[in-house]
Amino acid sequence: MNAPRTGILKTLRNVFGYQNFRQNQQEVIATLLEGNDAFVLMPTGGGKSLCYQIPALHRSGVAIVVSPLISLMKDQVDALLANGVNAACYNSSLSADEARGTLARMHAGELDLLYVAPERLLAEGFLERLRDVEVALFAVDEAHCVSQWGHDFRPEYVQLGQLRSLFPLVPMIALTATAEKQTRMDILQRLQLQDAKQVIAGFDRPNIRYTVIDKSKPFSQLCAFLDARPEESGIIYCLSRKRVEEVAHKLQLEGIDAAAYHAGLAADERKHVQEQFIRDDLQIVVATVAFGMGIDKPNVRFVVHYDLPKNIESYYQETGRAGRDGLPAEALLLFGYGDIAISRGLIEKSDNAEQKRIEIHKLNAMVAFAESGTCRRRALLGYFGETLAEDCGNCDICLNPPEKIDATDDARKALSCVYRVGQRFGIGHVIDVLRGAKTQRIYDLQHDQLSTYGIGKEQNQDHWNHLLRQLIHYGYLEQDIANYSVLKLTEEARPLLRGEITLTMTKPRLKTTKKKKPATKIVGLEYDQELFNLLRARRKQIADRDGVPPYVVFGDASLAEMAATLPTDSKALLQVNGVGQTKLQRYGNEFIEEIVSFLCR
């Protein structure tokens, strides 16, 4: 399906069924079409895949897409096939005959995109094969896996850097949804993409409501949350397999349609749970972090973290599995201090001192987010180096603001202490100096002679911990991650230190979640709920008949738009986002029939 270089908008509409490009997509596509490299950071659900799928249809040859999980490849290929695109995957799930057939199709020029596991791609025999075919481009999906600083480091990804030297004239694109500055720099260096066009689309997922509650009776809290959301699809994350089994079993006893998923289950059992979930035959999956990266299910309405994630990157990626269709979704975190000790204990088992240091820093940042009294979205985006012009209005802090206190004096004490110790120490040591701790290290450094020694002894360690972390969130302090997380003053700290401005902070507190109010499913779009349900039922019938997940037929957002605009002919249906020529031919008449039948009742 090699289309002319021009007409990418026509491809977007006719093949993929979208009327317009999202922000940054066209810029990335143009870069690849010009034969140049690109690095793309877009939030989950932001349309990363189209950035290489459309160029693959406009460049001569086959696009090689590196993907870390078999299930992720399968979902992508199924979706492409449903749109009439010639795509296949090459991984360990194929039989010998299937693998040979796929390679034969590649050599015959019959494939537009081939999804490959990194270990298969890097096998000497496969690289030799690639020399004999025309390669349109290389796409490295989930590119954070290449970096030790990333939250899902995979050693096999590191070797992908050799692609640039082996195929110097083939454009390459690296894509991720989760990478702070240090990880981004590492990705570019390891993949030899220092000269690549960098497109940072932002991390904000405005349709997700972030909530953190104090973990007291977690299962009761979970049930209260689920009771307010009957029949909604969701994922519940736990840190251990044992906890997963326990929570799933207790939910089943409560009559809730839930199943466990973790790496300890047999492969066929995991596959069964996954397929049930994406086909809407299973409402809730209780899982370890092993579940999710390979799941392309747009209508997940909530993600619950029953335990504290190990880092903000994991939290962001896992919560990002909710609301990929753009409709309202929720992210609930149950936060208990016992979780910190468990996570820290797991980290301490590592023999790699450098990796241990990185992971402890990231855990501390996650705790700071959970403790934060500022807008959750501000805190989350701030971690990735992105600023928000104003509070989001769609998180627990914004919707139920905590009590404010004047923190000017304590903030000045803390900032002054950071300065007095030479901006060469981390949070723990600064707190020891503030509280006048009598440790050998303080005596050896003569920090007991500093003017700030003991000036905060009337406050406990938790108070100063909370305050220092909030000063980081507010931008008065920064942590030098590459230098043992030492605290440094920013330019913004100077007016506060000099007494030119005051600082109001929130008291450290965590809240319970409330039953959500009924919300319009799509902002600014009124539609008939009964018709929407009928269209969902018809979609399920078609999906079961064709052996594909429901979203491959049409996403919830497309069905909602149909229920709002009531298209009764092919021309009108083609105007609905997500309806392209191929899907119109395959499914159009059945959905038009459902709409006409509803209108004629």
Fill in the DSSP letter of residue 123.
S
The token pair that represents 392 in the structure block: 């989001």
Q: Which residues contact 536 (CB under 8 A, 6 or more apart)?
A: 550, 556, 559
520 domain-assigned: no
Identify the domain boundary among 153, 183, 200: 200
Helices (H), 191-311: 218-227, 241-253, 267-278
pLDDT of 328 above 80 = yes
Residue type (1 letter), 598: F
pLDDT of 427 above 90 = no
**Regarding predicted confidence, which is higher, 292 or 162?**
162
Q: pLDDT over 70 for what percent of the chain?
A: 93
Instruction: Kindly report the CATH number assigned to the domain that includes residue 571.
Output: 1.10.150.80
Q: Which residues contact 271 (CB under 8 A, 6 or more apart)?
A: 71
Length of the chain: 601
59 domain-assigned: yes
Separation of alpha carbons 513 and 272, rounded Å: 32
pLDDT in tens, 286-305: 999 767 655 678 899 999 99
Of 522, 599, 527, the closest CA to residue 557 belongs to: 522
The token pair that represents 150 in the structure block: 């990333």
> What domain range is 594 assigned to?
529-599
Q: What is the separation of C-alpha 470 from the centre of its chain, rounded to a whole number of angstroms?
A: 24
pLDDT in tens, 179-196: 888 888 999 999 999 899
pLDDT band at 72 (very low <50, low <70, confident <90, very high): confident
Instruction: Kindly report the CATH number assigned to the domain that includes residue 449.
Output: 1.10.10.10
By mean pLDDT, which of 8-22, 251-265, 362-376 is the weakest? 362-376
| Number of domains composing the chain | 4
Separation of alpha carbons 219 and 224, rounded Å: 9
Please check whether residues 408 and 395 belong to one and the same domain: no
Please check whether residues 424 and 564 belong to one and the same domain: no
Encode burial over 304-318: b for 16+ CB neighbours within 10 A, e otherwise: bbbbbbbbbbbbbbb
- Paired residues of 211 in beta bridges: 332
pLDDT at residue 513, as a whole number = 42
pLDDT in tens, 88-112: 999 888 899 999 999 999 999 999 9
Which CA distances in Å does 166 have to 127, 139, 232, 388? 9, 15, 48, 42
521 domain-assigned: no
pLDDT band at 600 (very low <50, low <70, confident <90, very high): low
pLDDT at residue 327, as a whole number = 92
Separation of alpha carbons 182 and 311, rounded Å: 14
Q: Which long-range contacts (CB under 8 A, 24 or more apart) does 44-47 make?
A: 44/177, 44/205, 44/317, 44/320, 44/321, 44/324, 45/205, 45/298, 45/320, 45/323, 45/324, 45/325, 45/326, 46/22, 46/177, 46/201, 47/22
pLDDT band at 77 (very low <50, low <70, confident <90, very high): very high
CB 439 within 8 A of CB 432: yes
Please check whether residues 494 and 551 belong to one and the same domain: no
Please check whether residues 395 and 445 belong to one and the same domain: no
Fill in the DSSP letter of residue 477.
E
CB 309 within 8 A of CB 292: no
513 domain-assigned: no
Separation of alpha carbons 376 and 140, rounded Å: 31
Please check whether residues 340 and 384 belong to one and the same domain: yes
pLDDT in tens, 203-231: 889 999 999 998 878 999 999 999 999 88
By three-state DSSP, how is residue 558 classified? helix
DSSP per-residue letters across 124-176:
HHHHHHHHTS-EEEEEESSGGGG-TTSTT--HHHHGGGHHHHHSTTS-EEEEE
**Regarding predicted confidence, which is higher, 124 or 161?**
161
Identify the domain boundary among 374, 399, 424: 399
Instruction: Kindly report the CATH number assigned to the domain that includes residue 305.
Output: 3.40.50.300
Please check whether residues 32 and 146 belong to one and the same domain: yes
Identify the domain boundary among 451, 474, 506: 506
The token pair that represents 175 in the structure block: 């894509």
pLDDT of 409 above 70 = yes
Fill in the DSSP letter of residue 448.
G
CB 106 within 8 A of CB 129: yes
pLDDT at residue 3, as a whole number = 43
CB 35 within 8 A of CB 124: no
Please check whether residues 159 and 257 belong to one and the same domain: no
Separation of alpha carbons 191 and 178, rounded Å: 17
Which CA distances in Å does 257 have to 249, 275, 384, 566? 10, 15, 36, 33
Please check whether residues 546 and 419 belong to one and the same domain: no
pLDDT of 517 above 70 = no
Please check whether residues 120 and 196 belong to one and the same domain: yes
CA dihedral 544, 548, 552, 557 (to 10 degrees): 40
pLDDT band at 23 (very low <50, low <70, confident <90, very high): confident
Average pLDDT over residues 315-325: 91
374 domain-assigned: yes
Sign for the CA dihedral angle at 266, 271, 276, 278 comes to positive
Q: How far apart are the first and last CA of the chain?
A: 43
Answer whether 0.95 is exceeded by the pTM.
no
Average pLDDT over residues 453-473: 87
Please check whether residues 544 and 590 belong to one and the same domain: yes
392 domain-assigned: yes
Please check whether residues 467 and 556 belong to one and the same domain: no
Q: Average pLDDT, whole number, for the chain?
A: 88
471 domain-assigned: yes
pLDDT in tens, 533-563: 899 999 999 999 999 899 899 998 899 889 8
pLDDT band at 340 (very low <50, low <70, confident <90, very high): confident
pLDDT band at 483 (very low <50, low <70, confident <90, very high): low
Q: pLDDT over 90 for what percent of the chain?
A: 56
pLDDT band at 254 (very low <50, low <70, confident <90, very high): very high
Average pLDDT over residues 563-573: 87
Fill in the DSSP letter of residue 481.
G
pLDDT at residue 5, as a whole number = 44
Please check whether residues 358 and 439 belong to one and the same domain: no
The token pair that represents 237 in the structure block: 């994350």
pLDDT of 514 above 60 = no
67 domain-assigned: yes
pLDDT in tens, 24-48: 899 999 999 999 999 999 887 778 8
pLDDT band at 515 (very low <50, low <70, confident <90, very high): very low
Average pLDDT over residues 253-262: 95
Separation of alpha carbons 343 and 349, rounded Å: 10
CB 106 within 8 A of CB 576: no
Residue that has been written with the tokens 């007409």 in this structure:
7
Separation of alpha carbons 562 and 527, rounded Å: 8
Residue 424: exposure state from Cβ atoms within 10 A (0-12, 13-18, ≥19): middle
Separation of alpha carbons 503 and 500, rounded Å: 10
Between β-strands 486-489 and 477-480, what pairing exists: parallel, antiparallel or unpaired? antiparallel
Separation of alpha carbons 544 and 355, rounded Å: 45
pLDDT in tens, 125-134: 899 999 999 9
pLDDT at residue 38, as a whole number = 96
Residue type (1 letter), 267: A
pLDDT at residue 232, as a whole number = 94
